Amino acid sequence: MDPVAAGPVAAVGREGRILVDSYWSGTPEFDGSEVSEEWVEVSDGVRLRVISWIPSTPITSEVLVFIPGWGSVFEGWRPLLSEWTTRRPILYIETREKGSSVMEGRISKADFSVGKLSSDLASVLKFYGIESSEVDWFSSSLGSTILIDSFSRGFLSGRSSVLLAPNSEFKFPFWARALIASPMPKIFHPIMKRLAVWAVERKVKEEGQRIRYRRALLTQDLQKMHLSARSLMRYSLPDDLSSIKIPCAVMTASSDKLHGMDRAKSIVNRIPKSKFIEVPSNQYAHEAEVLEEIEAYQSLV
């Protein structure tokens, strides 16, 4: 029996008993590339986990910067990155709401604003001596939202950007909004994890996507995620995205009910000369096969 099928009380299941720290450290090594892992200081008391790969025989020397989604765990991207890291240098940045970040001192929802997340990305690029105008970007979910916001304000630039399942806004269920808006003592964190997994299981239909989200939710630092949700709950992308000059492709699947194809197409319509790429499923976008679509697009820009 699926441990989540019995509802929120049973949602943790066997996977909830893993050593969760193992998901937030350790260099993922792939044949054909050299890897390094660093915690980069992006502001006082805040350090982000950044993983970088340099291929032995790159197809291109251009750097790709990879920004995963809200709370996303690396394991979900392993199938794609195991192949991509053999082709080009890749910088994988885990944003500050994730369990890997180090945040010293007292934190608040203001620490998780889209503006703060954008500033973090700029700080990481500066640390590595990379100009954003020279970067090919790949991002998912919240990562895509951060980039669209940054591009629209001229804060970051790029050679190209592939935006998987961007969020124009963050719509939480009514019951979740009430919980997110209220203070949450740590004693309630396990209950919130179970409720969140249960809710996602009911919403998401793709099995691969369900597995990834379950794993990600069970391994989060709930204080960070709660404050991040409080910050994002009132956020929406600017209506006017006409200032974006970077070549952008928005990628999504019709079966991805969590992000929604209509919202993705609305973003495409607001970004000048952007392209819409439909993929068979959200899980497909996490597999090496999606490189065919990504590299075909990048070859045109």
Residue carrying structure tokens 């200032």: 243
pTM: 0.83
pLDDT at position 23 is 79
CB-based contact 165:140 (threshold 8 Å):
yes
Strands 102-103 and 90-93: what pairing?
Answer: unpaired
**Which of 138-142, 229-233, 289-293 is predicted least confidently?**
229-233
pLDDT at position 255 is 72
Percent of the chain with pLDDT over 70: 75
What value does the mean pLDDT take over residues 114-136?
Answer: 98
DSSP per-residue string spanning 31-96: TTEEEEEEEEEEETTEEEEEEEEEESS-S----EEEE--TT--GGGGHHHHHHHTTTS-EEEE--T
Architecture of domain 23-170+240-298: 3-Layer(aba) Sandwich (3.40)
Condensed to tens digits (0 to 9), the pLDDT of residues 225-267 reads 889 989 998 899 999 999 999 999 999 987 765 556 788 899 9
Copy the structure tokens of residue 58: 């790159």
